[in-house]
Amino acid sequence: MSKLKVNESAGGQMGHWKLDVYKGDVQSKETYLESIEGYNLITTVGKEFILDRLVSNSRSVLSRIGVGTSGTSANVANTSLSSSYFKAYDSSPTRIGRTLTFITTFGTSDANLNWQELGMDNGTTLLNRIAPIGPFNKTSAVSIVVTVTVTQN
């Protein structure tokens, strides 16, 4: 298991990400290959997004998780992912206490590229960026369940 030690505290918020890799599209103990996890950086526009949502400004809610090919270290000034592939959440995010959990499954036909970065957005605003995460060369031989949690300390 590989752990990334980049983290950012944004007004008490901390993000964590985890990739669970499975052989093929079947997700079971028998097809589980590995887990990769670490902490993420909340971008400057992500912090602005959070503030806007607190007062119901016009920004739409976060709706998807994406992966990209840039291995450049995450920076609070990041606004997008490079050569990215985004996919909607599997279901509505859940909140338990002060932790929100977002899950997206990338099946065998999704995002078959060299994963080096990860982030969540609403189609226009990148909340967070995690990089580098590998690189992990995803192929049609595997599916990956991406779990991102955001905790308010």
pLDDT tens for 15-42 read 788 999 999 988 888 999 999 888 877 8
Q: What phi and psi, each to the nearest 5 degrees, are found at residue 130?
A: -120, 120
* pLDDT of residue 99 exceeding 90: no
**pTM (two decimals):** 0.82
6 found inside a domain: no
Residue 43 pLDDT: 85
150 found inside a domain: no
- Our count of domains for the chain comes to 1
Which residue is listed with tokens 């400004």?
Answer: 57
Domain that holds residue 68: 13-143
* pLDDT of residue 107 exceeding 80: yes
Determine the Cα–Cα distance for residues 66 and 80; give it in Å rounded to an integer.
10
* pLDDT of residue 72 exceeding 50: yes
Which residue is listed with tokens 């599997």?
Answer: 90
93 found inside a domain: yes
For residue 20, give the amino acid letter: D
